[in-house]
Amino acid sequence: MTFVPWNNMILIFLNCLTINKQTLWNIYFHKLAASLNGSNSRMIYTMQRVRETDKLSDQRGLDYNHGT
């Protein structure tokens, strides 16, 4: 995925605030998805869900993403 400069500036700005990384990613993905059309935003939402599922997999030692 390619990031355009204004997205990087938003990420840098948000990094200066005291919020955890998961909140940062949620804000970023939701804003990016809102700026795209339906099919692309669905793909990005799926990527976000995969990230969250990966965290569950690491915690529980299971591969929830297998077959998705």
Predicted confidence at residue 28, as pLDDT, reads 73
Cα dist from 4 to 8, 10, 31, 32, whole Å: 7, 10, 14, 11
Predicted confidence at residue 22, as pLDDT, reads 65
Task: Give the whole-angstrom CA distance, residue 47 versus residue 19.
Answer: 21
What residue segments make up the domains of the chain, in order of their start?
19-60
Task: Give the whole-angstrom CA distance, residue 12 versus residue 67.
Answer: 35
Predicted confidence at residue 29, as pLDDT, reads 72
Mean pLDDT by 10 residues, the chain (68 residues): 58 60 70 62 60 59 48
Predicted confidence at residue 68, as pLDDT, reads 44
Please state the pTM of the whole predicted model.
Answer: 0.23
